[in-house]
A = this chain, B = another copy of it.
Amino acid sequence: MTEPIRDRLVTVRRHLHRHPEPAWREFYTTARLVEEIRAIGVNELAVGPDAYDPADRMAVPSDDEIDFWLERARDRGADDALLERMSGGNTGAVAVLERGDGPAIGLRVDIDGLFVEEATGDGHVPDAEGFRSEIEGTMHACGHDVHMTWGLAVLEAIAESDFAGRLVVFFQPAEEVGGGGCPMARSRFVDDLDYLLAVHVGLDHPSGEVVAGIEKPLAMCHVDVTIEGTSAHAGKSPNEGDNAMHAMGTAIENAYGIPRHADGMTRVNVGRAEAGTASNVIAERAHLEAEARGETTELMEYVKGRLERVVRSAARMHGCDAVFDVISESPRADSDPELVDVVVDVATGLHGTDRVVPTADFGASEDATFLMNRVQESGGLASYLIVGTDHPTSHHTPTFDVDEDALDHGVSVLVETIGELERRHPVSNAENAAEDG
């Protein structure tokens, strides 16, 4: 544990990869991060409810769910005191380095896994090399294991450098459900940031490619739908039922048919469904988890509104009621050109960099936009970087994996960018000048 993180990037990433935990249930993960951060040594380390106001959280699962994962983390050896601190699902942490006068820079990485069953077989490196997910049905299928590794290594590198200023690293939970960005954004740790960097690995950009700042992260919302009907004996008297199953089928069919919009890209998905109890019973209840996205916040609202109309009408058509709950939402945000320019300059010519792309579409959604918007509204600059990696299949699939060369490359890009921001920062320069004088 005393060996520098930068020398054991692969080990750290693979360890985290083996222990994926879903949104607001990253107990073991947070405990492991805290252990590493303590070893690095920081000025402040806020865990769970010290890092944000739990009431600001979105998309929080049920108590049973949370407790199940908390116990699982305990079984795997997570520290009891930390688990207690996080009870109720208040996972994640914020680490702060205070190093004298200089810019206040935030780095945001996300820490949650996905409900994807990881692939097996020699063709899938994590299985072939023994670091496949040990948690059945859950997987780091979006590279957050890499993001956390970057977060730790950058923290360590800056801690050991002569950096002047403040570095705040946000280890944010629940990105995949759009639930953790909002509470982090509202925390006091964002208050005075001059710069915010968020970062993602891959996203179809190959190893050696750096995107200095993405455009158009889609606005997004997650929705939970419950359709409530009346059960009945399917053989004896199907007419007495109000068939939540049939209403659900109609809702799914029509949700995907929500019209494309003249003003830009939209997305809709029903990603999880469950209905009924047994084949001979007309289903009394159905549950859907869906999401709406849009190129702008308005487009997302359009899709969400249509989705609600589809669901309510489908329920009514079959004599059922529908409850339509918006679980989480994240707005759109764009990277600031000035900050993008800095990243372009830094990344170009850096060891590991083959190509620098100033800006690219993000395509998907991200709740880092909450932090970006907050920093930008206060006069700071924000950028969302991508560090490329060759990945065999798409994000969110069972065979997703990364080229581990991206680990060191990402650390370089971030550390050098932070260094350059320090050098360029007006206050810092002014003070340096004063000191010189």
Chain A residues packing against B (C-beta within 8 Å): 114-116, 137, 142, 176-177, 203-204, 218, 220, 222-223, 230-241, 243, 245-246, 248-254, 256-257, 259-263, 265-267, 269-284, 286, 289-291, 293, 302, 309-310, 313-314, 316-319, 363-365, 394-398
With known contacts A246-B257, A252-B249, A177–B279 Cβ distance under 8 A: yes
In the bound assembly, the distance between CA atoms of A318 and B266 in angstroms comes to 18
Closest approach, in angstroms, between the C-beta of A252 and any C-beta of chain B? 3
Say whether, besides A240-B262, A257-B257, A277 and B114 are in contact (CB < 8 Å).
yes
Distance between Cα atoms of A186 and B286 in the complex (Å) = 39
Give the distance in Å from the alpha carbon of A233 to the alpha carbon of B270 in the complex. Answer: 12
Chain B residues closer than 8 Å to A273, beta-carbon distance:
245, 248, 273-276, 283, 286
Q: Shortest CB–CB separation between residue A89 and chain B, in angstroms?
A: 17
A265 touches B270 (CB 8 A): no
A–B Cβ pairs within 8 angstroms, 11 of them: A176-B278, A176-B280, A222-B279, A231-B396, A239-B259, A246-B257, A250-B254, A256-B256, A260-B267, A279-B289, A313-B313
Q: Are A234 and B269 in contact (CB under 8 A)?
A: yes
Q: Which residue of B lies closest to A218 (CB)?
A: B235
Q: Which residues of B contact A257 (CB under 8 A)?
A: 246, 253, 256-257
Instruction: Chain B residues near A239: list those with CB within 8 A.
Output: 259-263, 302
In the complex with contacts A310-B317, A317-B314, A363-B262, A237-B280 CB distance below 8 A: no
B-chain residues with CB within 8 Å of residue A223 when the two chains form the complex: 279
Measured between beta carbons, the chain B residues less than 8 angstroms from A203 are: 236
In the docked arrangement, what's the CA distance between A263 and B286, Å? Answer: 27
Cα–Cα distance between A284 and B293 once the two chains are bound (Å): 20
**Chain B positions within 8 Å of A282 at CB level:** 259, 269, 271
In this complex, what residue of B is CB-closest to A286? B273
Pair A252/B246 contact, Cβ less than 8 Å: yes
Given A233-B395, A236-B395, A266 and B260 contact (CB-CB distance below 8 Å): yes
Residues of B within 8 A of A233 (CB): 142, 364, 394-397
Question: What 9 pairs across the A-B complex have the smallest Cβ distances?
Answer: A249-B252, A256-B257, A313-B317, A234-B269, A235-B364, A237-B262, A115-B277, A271-B279, A238-B259
Among B272, B318, B394, the residue within 8 A (CB) of A276 is: B272
Q: What is the CA–CA distance of A136 and B363 in the complex, to the nearest angstrom?
A: 43
Chain B residues in 8 Å Cβ range of A309 = 316-317, 319
User: Do B236 and A364 have beta carbons less than 8 Å apart?
Assistant: yes
A274 neighbours in B (Cβ, 8 Å): 273-275
